[in-house]
Amino acid sequence: MPLITLGLLSSGEDFQLETVRYYDLSNVGGTARGWEREERILLCAPLRDAESHLPMFFSHLRNLTYPHHLIDLAFLVSDSKDRTLSVLTELLEGLQAEEDPNQPYGEISIIEKDFGQKVNQDVESRHGFAAQASRRKLMAQARNWLLSAALRPYHSWVYWRDVDVETAPFTILEDLMRHNKDVIVPNVWRPLPDWLGGEQPYDLNSWQESETALMLADTLDEDAVIVEGYAEYATWRPHLAYLRDPYGDPDMEMEIDGVGGVSILAKAKVFRSGVHFPAFSFEKHAETEGFGKMAKRMKFSVVGLPHYTIWHLYEPSVDDIRHMEEMEQERIVRENEEKEKAERAKKIKEQFDDPNSQWEKDKTDIQSLAMLEKAKEQQATATPVANP
CA 322 – CA 333 distance, rounded (Å) = 17
**Mean residue pLDDT across the chain:** 88
CA 58 – CA 54 distance, rounded (Å) = 6
Distances (CA, A) of 30 to 35, 36, 206, 270: 10, 11, 23, 10
AA letter at 319: D
End-to-end CA distance of the chain: 152
- Residue 96 in this model has a pLDDT that exceeds 90: yes
For residues 29 and 18, which has the higher predicted lDDT (pLDDT)?
29
* 36-315 carries CATH number 3.90.550.10: yes
Domain residue ranges in the chain: 36-315, 316-358
Read off the pLDDT band of 221 (50, 70, 90): very high
- Across 85-110, average pLDDT: 98
Read off the pLDDT band of 71 (50, 70, 90): very high
Residues paired with residue 165 on neighbouring β-strands, in sequence order: 312
- Residue 1 in this model has a pLDDT that exceeds 70: no
- Across 15-38, average pLDDT: 90
- Across 289-302, average pLDDT: 98
SS3 content of the chain, % helix, strand, coil (to 5): 40, 15, 45
- Across 265-279, average pLDDT: 98
Distance of CA 13 to the CA centre of its chain: 50
Each residue's pLDDT tens digit, 150-189:
999 999 999 999 999 999 999 999 999 999 999 999 999 9
Q: Is the Cα torsion angle 235, 238, 243, 249 positive or negative in sign?
A: negative
CA 361 – CA 246 distance, rounded (Å) = 65
Read off the pLDDT band of 38 (50, 70, 90): very high
- 208 neighbors 296 (Cβ within 8 angstroms): no
pLDDT of residue 70: 99
Each residue's pLDDT tens digit, 239-268:
999 999 999 999 999 999 999 999 999 999
